[in-house]
Amino acid sequence: MLFNSIYQYSWNSISLLVSRTLNSSVTAIEVAFTLYAILSSFSQIGGGYIIDTIGPRLVGVISAIFFSLGFLIPVIFPNIILFYISWSLGSIAEGILYGIAVNVALKWYENKRGFATGIVSLGFGIGGAIFNPFISIYRYYYDPFIIIGILSLFCLLLISFNVTYPPRDKLKGNSPKKIIRGKDWWLIYFSYSFAIIPLLSFSSSLSFLGSELPRWLLLLSITIFPVTSGLGRPLFGMLSDKMNRFHSVIILNSLTLLASLLSLLSLPLSAILVGLFGGSTLTLYLSLLGDIYGNKFSGTNTGILYTGKAFAGTLGSILLGYFITISKSIALLFIIVSPLISIILLLAASKVLSY
């Protein structure tokens, strides 16, 4: 998860280096983040089916190799088109590795899945805080990409060779074919999609939204943002284990809404709080799926849910980038409205399920 974090939470730092190295525009660079959001999301469906069927080891090893190539290929071929291709390959691998990791928590720790999922995904939050200062000391991406590519290859291969899941015949749950026929599933799906937009928006565009801030304050915000995102996950996961899961998700989305509203007054503080609350969004939604639909097919089911990130990533990068070019106020309004829509959809889902 620490390495997975780089593709999302280090993007604010990486995008600046890519722009300088390849002499590309903001819009062109944001296409790469959109590709990441789409491919890392949809790759979890196929990856989830494989890990549900044969386990995580083989697909984990293959994904570790392609993950590293996402950083190493652009060093050899510094071209925007080849950067899109290599970043896409790495994004597919990142999505599969993410699914493998969270399903360790969902499949092994049924009674405390909120806290367990939060602990696992903690790495996805704080990884950016570890790598962002390192990446930011460079003007071009060559050296950091070489170091990250080689280091991730060694570490991820070592982990992938040793990860396991419980025997499949001891797990219970509803199949993807069954759950996608229900209205409740799609309400939860789109609720998640809108809930994650503030987090993805700050992940992809904080450096542009905060372009008028003093450089030290912007760098501090970019560094703290993934830290708060990581720290909130086990905390809110643990609280959700003790509460009604639906209620805990609604409370979390309401806090994300308030944090987004704060952007009108203080962008750095808003980003930090969106990280804290928004970073826990997936943790609680994955746990909610486990509660409702079981863990036998959790790899595939969570993979399908995760595709909502593709929808949110498109809105939170390309569309947001377009709004930024028109007016930052319009861009911030777009961020604010998204969690409100999410809350409405989740309330509708709770009525369908009588939760």
Q: How many domains does the chain have?
A: 1
Kindly report the CATH number assigned to the domain that includes residue 223. Answer: 1.20.1250.20
Q: What number of CA atoms fall less than 13 Å from residue 65's CA on the CB side?
A: 6
Please state the φ and ψ torsions of residue 160, each to the nearest 5 degrees.
-60, -35
DSSP 8-class letter at 111: G
pLDDT tens digits in sequence order for the chain, 355 residues long: 778 888 877 887 888 888 888 887 777 887 888 888 788 888 988 898 898 888 888 999 999 999 999 999 998 998 889 999 999 999 999 999 988 998 888 888 888 888 998 888 888 767 877 888 888 888 888 888 899 999 999 999 998 998 888 887 788 888 888 888 889 999 999 999 999 888 887 776 676 667 677 877 887 887 788 778 878 889 999 999 988 888 999 999 999 999 988 878 888 888 889 888 988 898 899 899 888 888 888 888 888 998 887 778 777 666 766 776 777 777 777 788 889 999 999 999 888 776 5
Cα 159 from Cα 298, distance rounded (Å): 21
Helical spans, DSSP H, in 161-214: 176-179, 183-195, 197-209
Structural domain of 108:
4-353
Give the integer Cα–Cα distance in Å for 164 and 60. 11
Distance CA 315, CA 216 (A): 28
Looking at the chain, how many residues does it have? 355
Query: At 355, is the secondary structure helix, strand, or coil?
Result: coil
pLDDT confidence of residue 316 = 64
pTM: 0.78
User: According to the model, what pLDDT value does residue 321 have?
Assistant: 67
Q: Which residue has the tokens 């989305």?
A: 253
pLDDT at 140 (0 to 100): 85
Question: Residue 288, SS3?
Answer: helix
pLDDT reported for residue 67: 94
SS3 content of the chain, % helix, strand, coil (to 5): 85, 0, 15
Rounded Cα distance, 11 and 204, in Å = 6
